[in-house]
Amino acid sequence: MSKPITWGTCLDYTVNTRDSWRNGGGRKSALHYSGLFTEFQGRSFPVKNIDKALINSLCVRLEERGVTNASINRFISAVQCVLNFCKEDEVITCDIHTPFRKRREEDCTRKHFTKEQVHEMVRIAREQFQRDDLADIILFASLTGMRMSEILNLPASWVNFSSNLLELQKCKHGKARSIPIHPQLLPMLEKRCEFTQPKVKIFGDEWNGPDQLRRAFYNVTKRYMDLGNDYVFHCLRHSFGTWHFAANTPPRDVMEMMGHSVLTTTLLYGKSTNESQQKHVAALAF
């Protein structure tokens, strides 16, 4: 009788062959959340025994640690991704019990910056820190909604001035997407791309990895603006989504620009502000 396929075998196969886990910006997160299953059950655990009851029990253990529903859902997605990927490639031949039930995230608050706060960040970066590179990347993140890893790895060849688009070829979920270039970004991008080779990263070479960028950003938001610790660089991405909902951009367009795989994720940004609702209620003829 052949030995049962183990979680460790499937995890190794996914890490070594799935493109988005090998080279994508979400690799670190994927390894972290899939590693939680290894921590709980070990590498030798048979995948045929991974069912919904087991996943639910592990989610409860994570909850008892104080892990948020959003992070618990990332854990569920990572385990589900390993199983589905290996089933599709026939590493797993037995039946698997996906999809697993995820937790509600509708009530979670997605921190975002106001436009005035972003303008102030840019001013502080330029005038107080004398850091045009920091100012540029703050402005770029807020007006594109791109993740930090996507920005730091953005090559000049993905900036299409003739179509006025950022054409991202490799994103978190492995899908390409296009983002229109905001007029305020054009002068900065033209300057950065003018003498840059197509494969050269237009932002990444200025920073020694994401940690250095996070520290510089934290100095602006905490030291000079006295914002809380939960206002992080990723909130610039949240700002992009929130601003677009306030401006009545169609949700499907916001979904495609932000690279979400499902519309429900995009709709969470519509609950971060009631500015648009207030405007429509005030304009209601009665």
Q: How far apart are CA 223 and CA 265, in angstroms?
A: 32
Region of poorest pLDDT, from 74-78, 168-172, 252-256, 260-264:
168-172
Single-letter amino acid code for the residue at 277: Q
User: Which CATH number is correct for 115-276, 1.10.357.10, 1.10.760.10, 1.10.443.10, 3.30.565.10?
Assistant: 1.10.443.10
User: Is the preceding omega at residue 99 within 30 degrees of 0, hence cis?
Assistant: yes
Residue 266 has pLDDT above 90, yes or no: no
pLDDT digits (tens, 9 = 90+) for 4-37: 899 999 999 999 999 888 876 678 888 999 999 9
Task: Check: CB of residue 154 under 8 Å from CB of residue 201.
Answer: yes
Residue 65 confidence (pLDDT)? 81
Residue 278 has pLDDT above 70, yes or no: no
Longest CA–CA separation in the chain, Å: 76
pTM (whole model) above 0.75: no
Counting Cα atoms < 13 Å in the Cβ hemisphere of 110 gives 22
Residue 110 confidence (pLDDT)? 67
**What would the mean pLDDT of 115-144 be, rounded to a whole number?**
96
Full DSSP string of 194-233: TT--TTSBTTGGGSSSHHHHHHHHHIIIIIIT---TT--T
| Strands of 3-123, DSSP E | none
Task: Check: CB of residue 70 under 8 Å from CB of residue 25.
Answer: no
Residue 70 confidence (pLDDT)? 83
Task: Check: CB of residue 15 under 8 Å from CB of residue 43.
Answer: no
Q: How far apart are CA 7 and CA 205, in angstroms?
A: 38
Complete edge-to-edge strand list for the sheet that includes strand 177-180: 159-160, 165-168, 177-180
Residue 267: strand, helix, or coil: helix
Domain ranges of the chain: 7-88, 115-276
Q: How many residues does the chain have?
A: 286
